[in-house]
Chains A and B, each alone.
Chain A
Amino acid sequence: GAGVSQSPSNKVTEKGKDVELRCDPISGHTALYWYRQRLGQGLEFLIYFQGNSAPDKSGLPSDRFSAERTGESVSTLTIQRTQQEDSAVYLCASSRTSYTGELFFGEGSRLTVL
């Protein structure tokens, strides 16, 4: 389809393992955002890309979290040495530009850390 695609949709991992979450934005969308949503909570901003650059990384909770974007397309969010408090749905969104106001979200990657 033409929407934002995220993988895996579900990931169960053991505490201490590394995980990679992938986001394929809508083709041609220059802005890409990562959010975290814990159960019953709101969306927590993690990082934002304009093209391949990340002008705002202020939301990354710790140095265990990193993200990159290549080819102004695919983005990967990596969580190293996962902890139980990392359990959440990780949502990716893309937008044609940074300021159009409409973010198109993927269905999210549900991460469970045991």
Chain B
Amino acid sequence: DVKVTQSSRYLVKRTGEKVFLECVQDMDHENMFWYRQDPGLGLRLIYFSYDVKMKEKGDIPEGYSVSREKKERFSLILESASTNQTSMYLCASSPDRPRYNEQFFGPGTRLTVL
């Protein structure tokens, strides 16, 4: 079974803090993704990576950055947290073609920015 783990289930931070969210997958997947999920807006892609040290912007990259130094690990960084970044953050991974879009999700991190 694919296992995707995220560093925290719940996180509370203050406005202006730098926040690190980590994601690790154990299935040697090439592709990794960061989403946020908000009521009424659904899942929105923040960043994704298809290889070590490679990254691509998703739909809403502003205020975020990512790092992928190792194949199994993909980090999301909030450079200066703001209250509008309070959300559920979901990491996902997928194998390469032809199953590229069969994504497996981690348990999520619920981030609250005060």
Q: Answer yes or no: do A and B interact.
A: no
